[in-house]
């Protein structure tokens, strides 16, 4: 038993304060004045002598006088300075003396406080004291502290006497020194908040006045304080309460001090708790020569039946709500001042007794939970009289933990009892086997704490019992240490059989197995262990820059409000193969070895083999070694320094323990995986009768039913390991999880929605942070530079699913008014999202017109917002492209538009969300704009933009797994079904859905286009533009010629028919005459006779007519007599403009010649001569026809061109634009000013 600390005694005598030095007085002045008098005499003498100039004599006399005065001043100043230095030196020396005295007083005060706190512990610490057990019932009648009970804290004199120094009252004492002495004495003669106690033997009645809550709190504290340190043999506690207050004392039933010594009921000894004085009087023991009785009275008026007013020897009454009476002999009254909040911090009180000054104190308060916890722990240590303790079962045939750990049989194993606080020597110390001298223990503590650790090594060949030894060690530590003192990390590089069945232990912070099957888990384990070291360092730093876990535990024991920081044992089986697969893990183990002592980390490495050099850097950190049978003598030397382990017989579990270089112990390891001996009893037995354990007596009058035959008894099939794990499951606080399962199962998107703080912050997955030992929602923040999103991944990596998740998340966190989506589903997986109210438009891969229409619609929104219409009621616009590589291959003309949207879109509330198979699919200018990047598994990790090395660890067979910058692994959330998504959005949003994408119809009547354009629309109407769904017109004054290409039945003749009808509509016969070259006669009758100059259906007709027309038009060329004014107004000729419309030019332009060639010289001067030429031909073979003279001349003039449906393989026909397949009438109009416009050619009947 630890010796009781005693308060220091003795006397501290302070030195006398220094005295002030005396002044020289008149003598000093006289001594200084003598030279002055001599000098004055010299002055008089010089002044009285003759024989010289009077001026000289005066000057000399003055010099004598000044020298004398100066000398006198210097002397006086020197005397004053010398006195000041003497005072300062003496004062400093005395203050140093007081500093030494103060340090001595501090040490004495700390020792006094420690002694009193040990003697009278705080009620809050009593449950822990009872769990330790070393001080329970320590005070016997011959103990000077017997029946002394703590009631609170108060100011008390210092146990060491501080004597006043002599000479303090002297007149010449240094006032500063005297003041310092008085402050020291006033400060330290009385020490605040020291435990105060009262001797119950001196009082027959202790009365508590004040509020009931404060009174019961103090009463519980008094009862607990005296019960914890006194045995039931020397102290009896009884409670007499009324019906209203007896429930407050129900916890006393657990106190063995409140159990009757000779009366029992159905559940054990009768509890000395009653509401009737006569009943309790029969139960109380006699007071002569027996234990002291502490009787608690809470409310009854019949207490006089038990105790006379003058008291009774050997009995102390603790009376609550006592009347406020003057103190009498043998009575101690506590006057409590408060009853309300803050009772746990103590209650102001006064201890009042006869012929003594009241003592002001802060009374203790003990809540019911603490009192019951103490009482339960005390009850476990005191068997009721008449019962016999259970005898531990003997050891099994093979050595097992049961026979050595002192826990008894497994069936009797009680974690609450086994996990009680252990002496410092037994902490992290566990039996692992039997040696020649008895039980062999492995002590994981470091050598500074008389241990073998903190780190070690176990090596054993196949069949040597290595795995069983590890199980024995782990289970033994778990059975003897609570989870708040020890946590475990169990790592098995192979299949995990070593630690099978141990995951349910509350101590286990991680079970990491089958690393050989997935080496990516090794990197994750590295991060988890490194993060645990960082976490522990931060906890120590936040607790006050503590140096180690031991300091943390000491601070908690002193009452610091700190969470437990248990020791962590990391067991790594097959570490040699682990380091062979991941050599960089050595650095982590070295870091654990270096920092483990201070951080409470213990590393145990185990392996079948130990290759030379495998322990590079680790060897110096491995303190203890365990060598089972090895494969070679060299391995034994590497582990133990001797070849003995190689010579061991092939007996599992037989090995050597080397705790230090000088000690080698042979042992037989324990075995915990074998079956427990059968305990099935023959015959039938009666089932136990369950009765309530309450304060009042319990009678067993209920009939005991005949039980069924026993089932489920231990029959030898359960192992020690199974039973022990089962017994510990659910007990104690769960270990801090440093390892979370890998990201294998996606979270449903609905579970992540609470992580979305705003409409542009979309939870789309789960981030894995193994270093921080947590998982966070992956939230895409699209509010700033990250407004554009790129999803990149190889085939079947989950790109489309992730895009669907993103769209679903946006739909669930924002309304259709806040976010609208346009989707280019070039992969074919997003089509079901078309029914989502937020989706304004969705186009598949084959819907080219819809694809272009979506891009045009978004461009139009951007243009209108840029033009000053930001509040268009649409909210944020998202353009999603699933398959950027497909878009570049099949819709390459859209890439510049999308890149332009990426550059200017964020400022206009427009976002791109794109997916691609590789980062190189994006051009550099676009890639720089994609601020949010989600990288799934790539076809080649070397293409990673996040981290090439980490990208290689992304699993191939888990769609949705990927990386974000950091790098951090993530798993995309599982999107809801479309029906569920639509239902959720519809239920939450009562407004209208996003405006549907307006598409170009496949047929638009010309009359409709004319109505839309209005009567005063300039130019010739051709159709409706796809981007703005507005009429499109060409002005012949600006663009006199037009070139049209298209495949068969693409709408060439329809376009020419519309063109001709517009010419007739907008111009009179005097303003326009039309020449139609139509070998197929598809335009026959389309031009009225008054507008028709020629209708030419063959080369024989066309050649002379066009030559004649060319001659006529040449006459319109301006001559030398034309004035500049006429040139500006084009007034040198008059007449109609000539529109030459050529259909099927591929028939007209033969290899010999083209009739239209007659007009070729006039094409460049069309504006001067009034010539307008429209040429249409098939797109097939048009690449060769581009070099035909007429077409080449038109191309050289950069005239507008119309590309109807055609094959892209024909190449660029107008500028750099290729034809593409489309519905009849769908065309691309290419102009210099407007670029490329998609339009639907207006249709008009031939009778128009």
User: Is residue 137 part of an annotated ligand binding site?
Assistant: no
949 is in an annotated binding site: no
Torsion of CA 41, 46, 49, 51, to 10 degrees: 170
796 annotated binding-site participant: yes
Task: Report residue 669: phi and psi, to 5°.
Answer: -70, 150
**799 marked ligand binding residue:** yes
Give the integer Cα–Cα distance in Å for 616 and 593. 12
| Cα–Cα distance measured from residue 628 to residue 298, given in angstroms and rounded to the nearest whole number | 66
To the question of whether residue 559 is assigned a binding role by annotation, the answer is no
DSSP string, 92-161: HHHHHHHHHHHHHHHHHHHHHHHHHHHHS--GGGHHHHHHH-SSTT---TTSTTTTEEEEEEEEEE-SSE
Residue 368 token pair: 């019911």
Q: In b/e form, how buried is each residue of 680-706, taking b as 16+ CB within 10 angstroms?
A: eeeeeeeeeeeeeeebebbeeeeeeee
Distances (CA, A) of 82 to 33, 174, 813, 926: 19, 16, 86, 87
Q: Is 464 annotated as a binding residue?
A: yes
Alpha-carbon distance of 32 to 41, in angstroms, equals 15
The H-or-E segment that residue 538 falls in is helix 520-542
Q: How many CB atoms lie within 10 A of CB 621?
A: 20
1047 is in an annotated binding site: yes
Is 730 annotated among the ligand-binding residues? no
1114 is in an annotated binding site: no
CA-closest candidate to residue 816, choices 744, 754, 873, 881: 873
Cβ proximity of 886 and 895 under 8 Å: no
Q: How far is residue 1237's CA from residue 1202's CA, in Å, rounded to a whole number?
A: 9
- Residue of 372, 446, 468, 574 marked active site: 574
Q: Annotation-wise, does 1058 bind a ligand?
A: no
754 is in an annotated binding site: no
Please tell me whether 466 is known to bind a ligand.
Answer: yes
Q: Please, where are the H alpha helices in 432-519? A: 466-480
| List of long-range contacts for 532-538, beta carbons under 8 Å, 24+ apart | 532/568, 532/601, 532/738, 532/773, 533/591, 533/592, 533/595, 533/599, 533/601, 534/771, 535/738, 535/773, 536/565, 536/599, 536/600, 536/601, 537/595, 537/599
| Residue given tokens 């030559």 in the structure block | 1107
| 800 annotated to bind ligand | yes
- The annotation status of 915 as a binding-site residue, yes or no, is no
Beta bridge partners of 995: none
Q: What share of the chain is helix, strand, coil (3-state, %, to 5)?
A: 35, 25, 40
Is-catalytic flag, 574? yes
Residue 6 to residue 8: CA distance in whole angstroms = 6
Establish whether 793 is an annotated binding residue. yes
Measured at the CA of 656, the angle between CA 652 and CA 657, to 5 degrees, comes to 125
Residue 196: DSSP 8-state:
E
460 is in an annotated binding site: yes
Q: Count the neighbouring beta carbons within 10 Å of the beta carbon of residue 245.
A: 19
- The answer to whether 517 is annotated as binding is no
Cα–Cα distance for residue pair 565/735, rounded to 1 Å: 10
Nearest to 858 by CA among 801, 915, 919, 899: 899
In this structure, what are the phi and psi dihedrals at residue 161, rounded to the nearest 5 degrees? -75, 130
Q: Which helix (H) or strand (E) holds 688?
A: none
Q: What is the chain's length?
A: 1248
Nearest to 220 by CA among 252, 195, 197: 252
Q: Does the annotation place 784 within a ligand binding site?
A: no
Contact between 563 and 535 under an 8 Å Cβ cutoff? The reply is no
- Residue 357 CB-density burial (10 A; 0-12 exposed, 13-18 middle, 19+ buried): exposed
Closest to 1047 measured CA to CA, from 1168, 1209, 932 = 1209
Give the separation between CA 463 and CA 608, rounded to whole angstroms. 9
CA dihedral 900, 901, 907, 913 (to 10 degrees): -130
Angle between helices 585-599 and 520-542 (to 10 degrees): 20
Angle at 988 between CA 987 and CA 991, to 5 degrees: 95
Q: What are the residues whose beta carbons fall under 8 Å from the beta carbon of 4, sequence distance 6 or more?
A: 115, 118, 119
Residue 467 assigned as binding residue: yes
Instruction: Give the residue numbers of the binding site.
Output: 460-467, 793-800, 1046-1053
Which of the residues are catalytic?
A: 574
Instruction: Give the residue numbers of the binding site for ATP.
Output: 460-467, 793-800, 1046-1053
């Amino acid at each position: 038993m630890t010796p009781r600390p005693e308060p220091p005694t003795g006397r501290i005598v302070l030195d006398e304060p220094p005295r002030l030095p005396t002044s020289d007085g008149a003598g000093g002045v006289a001594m200084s004045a003598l030279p002055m008098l001599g000098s004055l005499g010299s002055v008089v003498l010089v002044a009285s002598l003759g024989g010289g100039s009077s001026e000289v004599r005066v000057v000399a006399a003055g010099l004598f006088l000044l020298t004398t005065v100066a000398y006198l001043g210097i002397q006086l100043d020197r005397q004053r300075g010398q006195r000041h230095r003497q005072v300062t030196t003496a004062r400093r020396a005395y203050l140093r003396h007081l500093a030494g005295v103060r340090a001595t007083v501090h040490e004495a005060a700390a020792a006094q406080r420690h002694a009193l706190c040990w003697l009278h512990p705080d009620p809050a610490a009593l449950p822990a004291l009872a769990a330790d057990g070393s001080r329970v019932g320590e005070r016997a009648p011959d103990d000077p502290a017997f029946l002394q009970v703590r009631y609170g804290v108060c100011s008390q004199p210092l146990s060491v006497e501080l004597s006043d120094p002599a000479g303090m009252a002297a007149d010449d004492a240094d006032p500063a020194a005297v003041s310092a002495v008085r402050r020291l004495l006033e400060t330290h003669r009385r020490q605040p908040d020291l435990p105060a106690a009262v001797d119950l033997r001196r009082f027959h009645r202790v009365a508590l006045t004040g509020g009931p809550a404060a009174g019961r709190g103090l009463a519980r504290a008094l009862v607990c304080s005296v019960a914890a340190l006194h045995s039931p043999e020397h102290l009896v506690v009884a409670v007499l309460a009324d019906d209203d207050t007896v429930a407050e004392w129900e916890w006393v039933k657990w106190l063995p001090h409140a159990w009757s010594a000779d009366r029992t009921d159905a559940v054990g000894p009768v509890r000395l708790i009653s509401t009737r004085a006569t009943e309790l009087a029969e139960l109380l023991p006699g007071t002569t020569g027996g234990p002291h009785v502490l009787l608690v009275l809470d409310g009854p008026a019949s207490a006089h039946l038990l105790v006379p007013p003058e008291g009774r020897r050997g009995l102390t009454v603790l009376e609550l709500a006592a009347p406020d009476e003057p103190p009498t002999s043998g009575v101690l009254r506590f006057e409590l001042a408060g009853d309300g909040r803050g009772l746990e911090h103590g209650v102001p009180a006064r201890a009042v007794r006869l012929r003594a000054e009241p003592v002001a104190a802060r009374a203790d308060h003990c809540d019911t939970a603490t009192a019951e916890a103490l009482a339960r722990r005390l009850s476990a240590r005191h068997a009721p009289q008449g019962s016999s303790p259970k005898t531990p079962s003997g050891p099994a045939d093979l050595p097992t933990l049961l026979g050595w750990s002192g826990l008894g049989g497994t069936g009797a194993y009680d974690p609450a009892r086994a996990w009680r606080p252990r002496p410092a020597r037994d902490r992290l110390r566990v039996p692992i086997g039997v040696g020649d001298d008895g039980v062999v223990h492995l002590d994981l503590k470091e050598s500074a704490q008389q241990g073998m650790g903190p780190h070690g090594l176990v090596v054993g060949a196949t069949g040597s019992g290595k795995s069983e030894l590890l199980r024995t060690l782990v289970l033994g530590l778990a059975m003897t240490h609570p989870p708040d003192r020890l946590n475990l990390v169990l790592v098995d590089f192979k299949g995990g059989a070593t630690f099978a069945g141990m995951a349910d232990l509350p101590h286990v912070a991680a079970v990491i197995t089958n690393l050989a099957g997935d080496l990516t888990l090794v990197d994750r384990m590295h991060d988890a262990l490194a993060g645990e070291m960082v976490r522990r360092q931060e906890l120590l730093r936040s607790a006050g820059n503590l140096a180690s876990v031991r300091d943390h535990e000491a601070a908690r024991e002193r009452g610091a409000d700190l969470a437990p920081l248990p020791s962590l044992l990391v067991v790594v089986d097959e570490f040699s193969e682990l380091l062979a697969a991941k050599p960089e893990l050595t650095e982590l183990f070295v870091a654990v070895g270096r920092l483990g002592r201070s951080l409470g980390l213990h590393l145990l490495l185990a392996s079948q083999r130990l290759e030379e050099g495998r322990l590079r850097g680790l060897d110096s950190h491995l303190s203890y070694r365990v060598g089972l049978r090895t494969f070679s003598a060299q391995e034994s030397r590497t582990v133990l320094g001797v070849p003995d382990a190689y010579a061991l017989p092939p007996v599992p579990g037989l090995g050597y323990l080397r705790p230090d270089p000088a000690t080698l112990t042979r042992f037989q390891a324990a075995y915990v995986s074998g079956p427990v001996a059968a305990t099935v009893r023959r015959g039938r037995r009666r089932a136990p009768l369950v009765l309530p354990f309450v304060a009042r007596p319990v009678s067993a009058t209920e009939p005991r039913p005949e039980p069924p035959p026993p089932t489920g008894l231990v029959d030898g099939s359960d192992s020690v390991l199974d039973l022990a794990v089962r017994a510990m499951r659910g007990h104690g606080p769960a270990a801090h999880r440093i390892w979370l399962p890998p990201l294998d199962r996606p979270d449903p998107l609905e579970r992540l929605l609470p992580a979305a703080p705003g409409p542009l912050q979309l939870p789309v997955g789960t981030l894995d942070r193994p270093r921080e030992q947590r998982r966070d929602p992956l939230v895409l923040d699209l509010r700033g530079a990250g407004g554009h999103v790129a999803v990149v991944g190889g085939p079947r990596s989950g790109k489309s699913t992730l895009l669907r998740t993103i769209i679903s998340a946006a739909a669930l966190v924002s309304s259709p008014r806040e976010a609208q989506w346009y989707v280019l589903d070039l992969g074919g997986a997003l089509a079901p999202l078309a029914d989502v109210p937020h989706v304004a438009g969705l186009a598949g891969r084959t819907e080219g017109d819809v694809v272009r229409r979506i891009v045009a619609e978004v461009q139009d929104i951007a243009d209108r917002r840029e033009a000053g219409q930001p509040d268009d009621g649409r909210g944020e616009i998202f353009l999603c492209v699933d398959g950027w590589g497909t878009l570049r291959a099949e819709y390459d003309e859209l890439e510049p538009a999308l890149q332009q949207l990426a550059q200017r879109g964020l400022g206009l509330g427009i976002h791109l969300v794109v997916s691609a198979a590789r980062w190189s699919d994006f051009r550099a200018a676009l890639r720089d704009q994609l601020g949010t990047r989600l990288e799934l598994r790539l076809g080649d990790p070397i293409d990673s933009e996040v981290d090439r090395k980490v990208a290689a660890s992304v699993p191939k067979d888990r769609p949705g797994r990927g990386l974000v910058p950091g790098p951090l692994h993530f798993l995309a959330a599982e999107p809801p079904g479309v029906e569920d998504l639509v239902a959720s959005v519809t239920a939450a949003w009562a407004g209208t859905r996003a405006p549907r994408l307006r598409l170009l119809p496949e047929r638009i009547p010309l009359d409709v286009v004319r109505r839309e354009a209005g009567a005063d629309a300039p130019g010739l109407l051709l159709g409706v533009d796809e981007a703005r769904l507005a009429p499109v017109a060409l002005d012949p004054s600006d663009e006199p010629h037009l070139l049209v290409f298209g495949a068969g039945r693409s709408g060439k003749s329809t376009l020419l028919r519309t063109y001709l009808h517009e010419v007739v509509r907008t111009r009179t016969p005097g303003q326009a005459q039309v020449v139609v070259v139509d070998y197929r006669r598809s335009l026959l009758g389309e031009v009225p006779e008054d507008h028709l100059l020629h209708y030419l259906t063959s080369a024989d007709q066309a050649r002379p007519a066009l030559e004649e027309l060319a001659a006529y038009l040449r006459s319109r060329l301006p001559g030398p007599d034309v004035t500049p004014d006429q040139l500006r107004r084009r007034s040198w000729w008059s007449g109609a403009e000539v529109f030459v419309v050529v259909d099927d030019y591929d028939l007209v332009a033969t290899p010999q010649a083209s009739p239209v060639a007659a007009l070729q010289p006039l094409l460049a001067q069309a504006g001067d001569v009034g010539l307008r030429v429209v040429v249409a031909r098939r797109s097939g073979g048009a690449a060769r026809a581009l070099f035909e003279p007429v077409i080449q001349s038109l191309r050289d003039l950069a005239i507008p061109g119309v590309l109807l449906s055609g094959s892209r393989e024909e190449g660029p026909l107008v500028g750099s634009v290729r034809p593409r397949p489309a519905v009849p009438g769908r065309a691309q109009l290419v102009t210099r000013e407007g670029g490329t416009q998609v339009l639907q050619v207006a249709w008009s009947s031939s009778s128009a």
